[in-house]
Chains A and B, each alone.
Chain A
Amino acid sequence: MTQSVVVQVGQCGNQVGCRFWDLALREHAAVNKKGIYDEALSSFFRNVDIRSGGDGPGIYKGKICSLKARALLIDMEEGVVNEILQGPLRDVFDSKQLITDVSGSGNNWAVGHKLYGCQYRENIVEKLRKTAEHCDCLQCFFIIHSMGGGTGSGLGTFVLNLLEDEFPEVYRFVTSVYPSGEDDVITSPYNSVLAMKELNEHADCVLPVENESLFDIVNKINQMINSGKLGSTVKQNSLVTSSAGSVKTLQEKPFDAMNNIVANLLLNLTSSARFEGSLNMDLNEISMNLVPFPRLHYLVSSLTPLYTLADVNVPSRRLDQMFSDAFSRDHQLIQADPKHSLYLACALLVRGNVQVSDLRRNIERLKPSLHFVSWNQEGWKTGLCSVPPVGHSHSLLALANNTCVKPTFTELKERFMKLYKKKAHLHHYLQIDGMEPSCFSEAVSSLSDLIEEYNELDATKGGPRTDPSRLKIAV
């Protein structure tokens, strides 16, 4: 069994990360009835005996003493991290896993990346090494951050760079929250484009998330609950947005519901690596199957179902509905419509009581309405995990490498150009040591190249018009 380390950077990263740890504990508590520290738990948690003073050696078997998250919390202002440490999750983190400063990054990528990056490099490397040493077999780093700010965006991508240098063999999965058009941070386009260049070059897989989509999903659920339709009540803890049953008992904060969705995304992504199933799908398989060309590693994700009704019986058609929903616009975590764009590859990770025949039937059913690139007509990667998420009897995570990410990137580029043409706010960036105007031009050209690659795929539908001729054998 392998271990993964979560690096949460900036306000957004830490808030989402906090929800992730909370829900992870809830999930393992539901599965692990005997309180024994098992392999599944070890993928995200260490088992320590706190009596032997703080950062005790890990206990590898036997009863759970004290669980510590394999995480690194980084923020250049103290507010968010302090709150976490005073909240109900304080025992899951120890002080050695934090890196904080006081004044924040002022929504400036350059401050986060160049200034703080330089300043904290040694500290970060040391703490990463420590966390890695506690792992028997470290497979993956998960970075959670937002693109629009200063710390998450700048320092977050600096850490990404660092991970590639120091741990080249470990996979880097990045969950990035992209800013919306009406983002109140004026310089968010600059920050995002500068960060994009780093993601292009150093991440193995990026899972983009947009606040707008999360917001729409939360609304959809609220509407459903409040409409009183269908007569049956919804199981509270099954909501993809809920914290019910988790450690946190205080009143929910505004972004909690949205952050829970992202936390659930990460849990589902890693479920097959942690729990057993008839067709396992490990993290390295995700990267292998969904990334046909090194730079095209942006995966659009969707989670279904968003909630479970309280009645227990699940007729087949509800299962089928789950599959259909995974491809609908409303369930995607970014503002995109994969169904009407070109698929390069698609992965379906099913959890719970679903059999291979249900999976195959739904693939057959949905395939005709989806457009796959010519060289990957049957491009499906499937995984079956037997353990369902809390509150559900089954669930589906769909990851698509699809050209529908293009509009997100082109809009980002437009917003960037609007500011850049006027050279608005540039001086804030250029005054930082290490920032040159070429940083900007390189970043935007990297983004343009990426957009161009997607354009080409769309135009040619990914292949030569005729099938390439096979090798001929002289008889």
Chain B
Amino acid sequence: MSIVTVQLGQCGNQIGHEVFQSLCSDIHGTHGLCSRKENQSYQDACKERFFWEEESGVPVARAVLVDMEPKVISQTLSMAARSGCWKYSHQSHFCQKQGSGNNWANGYSVHGPRHKESIMNLVQKEAEKCDRLGGFVTIMSMAGGTGSGLGAFVTRCLRDAFPASFILNHVIWPYGTGEVIVQNYNSVLTLAHLYRSADALLVHENDAIHRICAQLMNIKHISFRDVNQVIAHQLGSVFQPAHTAEGGPNYSRNPLGDLMETLVPHPEFKMLGLRNIPQIPENSLPYSTFSWPGLIKHLRQMLIANAQMEEGIDWQVRPPPPGSSTPSTRKPLHFNTSIANLVILRGKDVHSVDLGSFQDPSLYTSWLNPQDAFNAWRTPRAFNKYEKSASLVSNSQFLLKPLDSVVGKAWNMFASKAYVHQYTKFGIEEEDFLDSFTTLEQVISSYTTL
């Protein structure tokens, strides 16, 4: 089954490019520490999922590039073409001239309706090229105007046009200290609207990835390219072909469906966080070895203590003692309660790994059986030169604090009515703001009382 990616705005397009680059270099790079046959099967599955072949044999990404100004898209198209091993189709992009000016209202109420037909035509064309459509992944930031505003509108259109398909929004959470002054308004409006149309939101926080670059990857002068490459690696570790538990010897034919099924049991809870270990500079890879027990132990503690990376984990945090029916108010303060978790293992000896520690009922809320709340996908084919790689996709309280913080700051600004005239100018009224605030306060409340 194939996935169509919609890249929105500068962030979406820059990251999208790195994702396809990473997928390509993974399948062409090493032979994955497995048999030739297995490797071939992996390559074929990946190609079918993300690329289609044109006559010249160069894989073409199943992607639609959207931006309201031309500079980024033209850069992205040419960088991809230069790589030699893949490219974007020249007919799959849509851009305008003037940008959205970091204004969500401009993206949603002006650009959206104006360009709906053109954009959806491109999406339809890509969807038709797929033998079987597995769903859509949109990549966007929340802070700007196009990715956030137009992205929210496009997501709604996707939902209307493809009511039975899975839609995953990959959302970039901006730096806390500010990239855009009105980022909190844009974020609140985006999240509230996405929540109504998408199946799930997979979040990456710029602050967290920045720290990974600084502390784990040892990069001195971190550029957005570095940040985007880490994000691409993490996404690749989830979306590359994997064996799901019941899948048997073949790769999963429905990656998005499997993801949603395991992680989103209830429509009120759609915020997914992603962790991936180990994360080390590429030139250190040949000199490092990891053990599965070590990796699993770290990953579990990262889940419990809500750590973003494998350094600086708070080992003091422990799940509440089993057997006691603890109401949420009495759980230890920093403990991260989960609804559902998915661990994806790739590489050597995956089948021997003991994941019992993730099935501990005390990690989860009471409304699902721990057997249903936890799933694992084990794939012997190694990913992106890492001999062993473990990813965790978690529907838990990971994003509660950031969400609460963004809503708080936005509310603070809204109370003084600052910048609101910029939004009403394009048709978003105070009422729309209030609706979005209400939706998100509801989400915060739901996650808090887990």
Contacts and interface: CB of A to CB of B under 8 A. Distances in A.
A473 B97 contact: no
B223 A278 contact: yes
Contact of A289 (B100, B102, B213): B102
A467 B412 contact: yes
Contacts of B411: 468, 470-471
Interface stretch (B26-34, B178-186, B278-286): B178-186
A193 B219 CA distance: 53
A358 B220 CA distance: 9
Interface stretch (A145-153, A218-226, A328-336, A359-367): A359-367
Interface residues of B, number: 54
B178 A473 contact: no
A255 B115 CA distance: 48
Contacts of B71: 1, 39, 276, 280
Given A282-B101, A375-B418, A380-B179, A356 B222 contact: yes
Interface in A221-262: none
Interface string A447-475: 00000000000000011100110111101
A377 B178 CA distance: 9
A344 to B, nearest CB: 8
A212 B109 CA distance: 45
Interface in A277-330: 278-280, 282, 284-285, 287-294
B69 A280 contact: yes
Contacts of A136: 97
Contacts of B227: 356
Contact of A464 (B103, B182, B413, B415): B415
Interface string B88-103: 0000000001111111
Contacts of A357: 210, 213-214, 219-223
Residue with the greatest number of chain A CB neighbours at <10 A, chosen from B180, B181, B225, B437 = B181
A381 interface: yes
Contacts of B181: 289-290, 345, 347, 376, 379-381
B405 to A, nearest CB: 10
Contact of B182 (A288, A356, A374): A288
B442 A473 contact: yes
Nearest to B97: A137
A139 interface: yes
B422 interface: yes
B437 A376 contact: no
A355 interface: yes
A382 interface: yes
Nearest to A356: B224
Contacts of A347: 181
Contact of B409 (A280, A358, A378, A472): A378
A376 B413 contact: yes
A216 B10 CA distance: 40
Given A293-B421, A356-B227, A470-B441, A375 B416 contact: yes
B189 to A, nearest CB: 14
A470 B221 contact: no
Interface string B395-418: 000000000000111011101111
Contacts of B220: 357
A410 interface: no
Contacts of B175: 360
Nearest to B412: A375
A320 to B, nearest CB: 13
Contacts of A463: 412, 415-416
A278 B441 contact: no
Contacts of B224: 278-279, 355-356, 384
Nearest to A474: B445
A344 B220 CA distance: 32
Contact of B449 (A290, A376, A379, A475): A475
Contact of A285 (B70, B99, B421): B99
A376 B183 CA distance: 11
A355 B223 contact: yes
A411 to B, nearest CB: 27
A284 B101 contact: yes
A446 interface: no
A137 B70 contact: no
A381 B411 CA distance: 19
B408 to A, nearest CB: 7
Interface range on chain A (Cβ under 8 Å from partner): 35 or more
B7 interface: no
Given A279-B10, A374-B412, A1 B69 contact: yes
Nearest to B103: A288
A324 B444 CA distance: 39
A270 interface: no
Contacts of B415: 375, 463-464, 468
Contact of B421 (A280, A294, A355): A294
Contact of B225 (A278, A293, A467): A278
Contacts of B221: 355, 357-358
B222 A355 contact: yes
B290 interface: no
A188 B182 CA distance: 38
Nearest to B179: A382
A2 interface: yes
A85 B343 CA distance: 72
B180 A381 contact: yes
Nearest to A471: B441
Given A1-B97, A284-B101, A357-B222, A471 B438 contact: yes
B291 interface: no
Interface in A11-57: 39
Contacts of B225: 278
A355 B225 CA distance: 10
A363 B177 contact: yes
B306 interface: no
B14 interface: yes
Given A1-B70, A357-B221, A380 B437 contact: no
Contacts of A292: 418-419
A148 to B, nearest CB: 31
A284 B99 contact: yes
B41 interface: no
Interface string B67-90: 001111001000000000000000
B424 to A, nearest CB: 11
Contacts of A375: 412-413, 415-416, 418
Given A280-B71, A355-B223, A2 B102 contact: no
A468 B408 CA distance: 9
Nearest to A457: B416
A378 B176 contact: yes
Given A360-B210, A380-B179, A280 B418 contact: no
Contact of B177 (A139, A364, A473): A364
Interface string B114-144: 0000000000000000000000000000000
Nearest to B220: A357
A466 to B, nearest CB: 11
Contacts of A280: 10, 69, 71-72, 99
16 contacts: A280-B10, A284-B98, A284-B100, A284-B102, A288-B419, A293-B421, A294-B421, A355-B224, A357-B222, A357-B223, A360-B210, A374-B416, A375-B412, A384-B224, A473-B438, A475-B445
What are the 9 A-B residue pairs with the smallest beta carbon separation, nearest first?
A284-B101, A380-B178, A357-B222, A468-B415, A292-B418, A137-B97, A378-B178, A278-B224, A289-B181
Interface of A: 1-2, 39, 136-137, 139, 276, 278-280, 282, 284-285, 287-294, 344-345, 347, 355-358, 360, 363-364, 367, 374-382, 384, 462-464, 467-468, 470-473, 475
Given A2-B98, A280-B10, 8 more contacts: A278-B14, A282-B69, A285-B99, A288-B145, A292-B419, A357-B223, A380-B177, A473-B442
